[in-house]
Structure 1
Amino acid sequence: MTWGDVSANTEIVSQESARVVRLAAHPSSSRRLPFITILASLLVAGCTVGPDFKKPAAPDVSDYTARPPATTASSANVAGGEAQRFAKGGDIPADWWTLFHSGPLNALIEQSLNSNPDLKAAQAALSVARENVLAGRGAYYPGVTAGVSASRQQDPPGALAPVPSNNAFLYNLFTPQVSVSYVPDVFGLNRRSVESLKAQEQAVRFQAIATQVTLTANVVVAAIQQASLQAQVEATHQMIDIDTRMLGVLRYQFAKGYAGRLDVAAQESQLAQVAATLPPLLKQLAQQHDLLAVLAGRFPSQAPDEKFELPSLQLPQDLPLSLPSALVAQRPDVRQAEANMHAASAQVGVAIANRLPNILLTSNAGSTALAIGQVFKAGTGFWSLGADVAAPVFQGGTLLHQQRAAKAAYVQAAAQYRSTVLTAFQNVADTLAALEQDAEGLKAAASAADAAKVTLDLSQRQWKDGYAGYLSVLSAEQAYQQARINLVQAQANRYVDTAALYQALGGGWWHRAEPAYPAPTRNADEK
């Protein structure tokens, strides 16, 4: 099914179903005999009205971006500065986060997969969907009920004839009986209903998978951000210490008449500005700490003790890049949108079948007696067989508009599927562009940090030799710490966007064994 087939397919189904409904609801005298013949054939063979769902075809594109991604730039002697190569058509490993080679990170993700409440809720939702499918399949089978009734009854003395054969006006009546009812699925109402439930189960399944993929990516990103913020906080503390020492020197020089009040005021402003950047960093660091605790299924006060540092993480150098034709099969959100589309397609058939005749077959057998000990004696039994055919004649347009609504919902689901596919391709393209620019940004930040370090070394050497003042050394050290902060941010960007690429390509869930969903405990009296 291509993008343009949805409306055409729906229109064909609309015309055909409308013809069937008209014949069923308003058979003319000339068409009544053929209609009865058709109905009898349907009773024997059965049919399924509504569209048969066809899996949408993969988009006919060969690349995610206008030009194929090339090997990224490298930065020597910098953590996370390795060049990254893209293996077109490469597969995504199930445990892709292990490519960062961090034992604490692996342990934290494992704990999150075992304890995260959102993931457990998604798994429970899948159990609900599976039970709903099993419940829907019950419509395929006859319904059997058994019951016993007991009553004491008195007829009026003036009655023409008492009910019991012994002419008693006051008597007991005991009636055990078994009833069987069955609705033949002539037009596929039950089959389409179960088909819709199965598709809904698949949608919930891929939603649970998406929750798992998102959880692992969020843990990786949160750990990287924590490491980045911790390094930025340390550098900011050092900058505050440097500015404080510079202010002390300027105040001393001002007291001795070697510096003006303007120089002191400017340094006081500089110190205040740097100090103002520390609380937001501490706030973000605390929030990342709390986020890691919650992702692992813990309270913030019970956060794990793991501390992450960017140099302890290894940047994956060979990145798999799935083929565009495979992306729609790998992304759980795309598969969920496809399942929603399938469910909407089946609901069209349900709406059509609701407008067609319904057949009910019933049977009843039992025994009735005036005493409990005579219930199963000869001559007390009874039975009956019945068949009912009912067709909607006038419902105030309810069934017609429900059918039209089902078709509109199908078109809506198809449009949402296309939107999800486009968003998936956008995610991959954006991440590829980000990885390229991250490498360039890290290269520039590393060069700036190296230049700042050289400046600091020269300033310290000149100060020791008496050719420069102490303020120039402090100024060079301040510039170096700011360059360190920029470098840490550039390093974190490379790690974060690498994790984003694995998530954008589907997270390798197809290589991971899905968790078992134990069936609910069944009691002997469950039906």
Structure 2
Amino acid sequence: MFNPAPLALAVTLALALSACADAPVQAPPAVPLADAFRDLPPGWADANAKAPQLPADWWKMYGDQQLDQLQQQLLDNSPDLASALARYLQAQAATNTLRAAQSPTLGASLNGQRDRQSDLKPLRGATSPAEYNSGTLQFDLGYEVDLWGRISKQVSAGVAQERAANADLAAARLSLQIQLADTLLALRGADADLKLLRETEVAYQRQADLINRRHEGGSASGLDLARAETQLESTRSLLRQRQAQRNVQEHAIAALVGANAASFTLAPNDVSFVTPALPVGLPSQLLQRRPDIAAAALRVAAASDQVGVARTALFPSLTLNASGGFQSSDFGRFAQASNLFWAVGPSLAVSLLDGGRRKAQIANAEAQLDEAGARYRSVVLTAFQQVEDQLSLLTNYDEASKSDHLAATAAQRALDLAKKRYDEGAASYLEVVTAQTAYLQSARSELDLTTRYRQAGVQLVKAIGGGWTAG
């Protein structure tokens, strides 16, 4: 008859120890917060107070059809995004594996064999046959009682890691989307620069032809012709270099959207790309808006649970076991009541001497918790830095672009005056070359600053977490 006393004793002992093993989950470390971000571009303060959080398809607010199509291609075909999704699915499967430990296990085995005993087998009975059949059908039921929370803490840590992996997936998706938009903007800037260089090449070719005719007529020196040809060939070199950069950017976009660079092309697009007033919000809101911050916080929680798991190794494990089935040497009368066997009872196990292994595991888990906390602080502080960086770039680039525009306008006037003075014989061609160089540099600088301003706006989208919301 089954005696419940051993089970009761094991349960009582485990309950007494459970209070010693329980420990609350540690929250992420505190990070100093400012009241507001600095360097908000003019006109953004009111817009930020009224604007909602960015949508998941944040790129559509730019109204660029080509960008919309490329972003959809990225979501459908990007191998990097598929890899990030696979990592999340791995974390999800790992959590389900941990959850399985909360349920009983049931196993079955069936064995049938013909045995022959040795004639000189020690202690063999006189009536024991030399050959006999042996058949066993056995069921084993086991369940580990989680009285001090080892299994539940493992599951809790697994859930936190799964959620962190989901946030990592969102961060990877946003990073790829930003990289695509940023590269497309760089390509658009290259297209504008190439257009300017081609127009300049045509103008320099006409100027060189004019100087050549004057040189043949004796009204222009060989030095003037050499300078004109130098300007022309230098511009052609710049044109080829810029074309090479544009090709590399096009190849990068192909890789991002999962296309073969050999067959992928993007025609020049003159559609204006306007940076809207983005809803930056308050620094405290950034903690809930960035997926990488959420992932870092969840890993602190997971590491805290793992400290609890390590501590429970100091206490016994209680397992309830039951087994039973049929066993017979007569296969024809196998499933009879007389052939039934069973066993049931608890098992309480504890390690008495391990050379300090469990204490070392606890110290390791605590060090991992400290590392996770420090990494969380680093991620948060880096996030604040990135927002401030992009806001500063937007504010100062906006002011710089006004000066660049004025400089390009002045350089154009200087070039017109230099050409007029040269045609009138009041200046050498060196003055024209100097003015041409200054104008081209000013015009290219204005185009480059426009591209960098737009890229800063896109990078700000990443800095504030895009359209991600914690699930």
**For this structure pair, what is the TM-score category when the shorter chain's length is used for normalisation?**
0.7 to 0.9
2:187 equivalent in structure 1: 226
Mapping 1:139-178, distance limit 5 Å: 139-157=101-119, 167-178=128-139
1:299: how far off? 0.9
Mapping 1:65-84, distance limit 5 Å: 65=38, 69-71=40-42
**Residues 109-148 of structure 1: per-residue CA shift (max 9 Å, x gap):** 1221121111121112211111111111111112111011
1:93 equivalent in structure 2: 55
Q: Is this contact kept in 2: 1:354–1:399, CA < 8 A?
A: yes
Indicate which of 246, 260, 272 corresponds to 1:312: 272
- Over 3 Å counting, the alpha-carbon distance change for 1:291 and 1:62 in structure 2 is same
Q: Is this contact kept in 2: 1:142–1:182, CA < 8 A?
A: yes
1:374 equivalent in structure 2: 333
2:4 equivalent in structure 1: none
Please give the secondary structure, in 2, of the residue aligned with 1:433.
helix
- Over 3 Å counting, the alpha-carbon distance change for 1:241 and 1:212 in structure 2 is same
2:64 pairs with 1:64: no
Q: Structure 2 unaligned runs (5+)?
A: 1-8
CA distance in 1, matches of 2:36, 2:125: 86
CA distance in 2, matches of 1:392, 1:349: 17
Indicate which of 348, 353, 357 corresponds to 1:394: 353
2:244 pairs with 1:283: yes
Please give the secondary structure, in 1, of the residue aligned with 2:369.
helix
**Deviating more after overlay: 115-124 vs 54-63:** 54-63
Letter matched to residue 197 of structure 1: G
CA distance in 2, matches of 1:429, 1:251: 55
1:450: how far off? 2.6
1:499: how far off? 1.0
CA distance in 1, matches of 2:410, 2:65: 34
1:212: how far off? 1.2
CA distance in 1, matches of 2:353, 2:124: 44
**Residues 466-511 of structure 1: per-residue CA shift (max 9 Å, x gap):** 6889967787666544433222112112211111111110001229
Alignment size in residue pairs: 461
1:150: how far off? 1.1
CA distance in 1, matches of 2:45, 2:414: 31
2:444 pairs with 1:495: no
1:275: how far off? 3.5
CA distance in 2, matches of 1:136, 1:394: 27
Indicate which of 318, 336, 343 corresponds to 1:384: 343
2:157 pairs with 1:196: yes
Please give the secondary structure, in 1, of the residue aligned with 2:156.
helix
Cα RMSD for the two superposed structures: 3.2
1:419 equivalent in structure 2: 378
Please give the secondary structure, in 2, of the residue aligned with 1:347.
helix
Letter matched to residue 207 of structure 1: D
TM-score by length of 2: 0.87
Indicate which of 68, 71, 85 corresponds to 1:123: 85
1:52 equivalent in structure 2: 25
- Over 3 Å counting, the alpha-carbon distance change for 1:424 and 1:40 in structure 2 is closer
CA distance in 2, matches of 1:177, 1:150: 12
Q: Is this contact kept in 2: 1:133–1:194, CA < 8 A?
A: yes
Letter matched to residue 333 of structure 2: Q
Q: Is this contact kept in 2: 1:359–1:387, CA < 8 A?
A: yes
Letter matched to residue 42 of structure 2: T
Indicate which of 130, 134, 151 corresponds to 2:96: 134
Q: Is this contact kept in 2: 1:47–1:186, CA < 8 A?
A: no
CA distance in 2, matches of 1:411, 1:193: 18
Please give the secondary structure, in 2, of the residue aligned with 1:368.
strand
Q: Is this contact kept in 2: 1:213–1:503, CA < 8 A?
A: yes
Please give the secondary structure, in 1, of the residue aligned with 2:320.
strand
2:15 pairs with 1:41: yes
1:211: how far off? 1.1
Letter matched to residue 121 of structure 1: S
1:18 equivalent in structure 2: none
- Over 3 Å counting, the alpha-carbon distance change for 1:198 and 1:125 in structure 2 is same
Q: Structure 1 unaligned runs (5+)?
A: 1-34, 73-82, 515-527
CA distance in 2, matches of 1:213, 1:245: 48
1:246: how far off? 3.9
CA distance in 2, matches of 1:414, 1:194: 20
**Deviating more after overlay: 369-378 vs 477-486:** 477-486
CA distance in 1, matches of 2:160, 2:121: 62
Indicate which of 325, 329, 336 corresponds to 2:295: 336
- Over 3 Å counting, the alpha-carbon distance change for 1:123 and 1:306 in structure 2 is farther
Q: Is this contact kept in 2: 1:46–1:188, CA < 8 A?
A: no
CA distance in 2, matches of 1:415, 1:159: 67
Letter matched to residue 383 of structure 2: A
**Residues 369-420 of structure 1: per-residue CA shift (max 9 Å, x gap):** 1122211112111111233222112222222111101101100110111011
Letter matched to residue 373 of structure 2: A
1:171: how far off? 0.9
**Residues 276-295 of structure 1: per-residue CA shift (max 9 Å, x gap):** 32333112100111111111
What percentage of aligned pairs have identical amino acids?
28
Q: Is this contact kept in 2: 1:179–1:362, CA < 8 A?
A: yes
Please give the secondary structure, in 2, of the residue aligned with 1:52.
coil
1:219: how far off? 1.6
Letter matched to residue 432 of structure 1: L
- Over 3 Å counting, the alpha-carbon distance change for 1:85 and 1:283 in structure 2 is farther
CA distance in 1, matches of 2:437, 2:95: 65
Letter matched to residue 73 of structure 2: Q
- Over 3 Å counting, the alpha-carbon distance change for 1:460 and 1:111 in structure 2 is same
CA distance in 2, matches of 1:85, 1:247: 54
CA distance in 2, matches of 1:189, 1:360: 13
**Residues 287-321 of structure 1: per-residue CA shift (max 9 Å, x gap):** 11111111111111232545333x532332x3212
**Residues 35-92 of structure 1: per-residue CA shift (max 9 Å, x gap):** 989625348x888534423355564321233xx52507xxxxxxxxxx9975247422
CA distance in 2, matches of 1:46, 1:211: 41
Q: Is this contact kept in 2: 1:50–1:352, CA < 8 A?
A: no
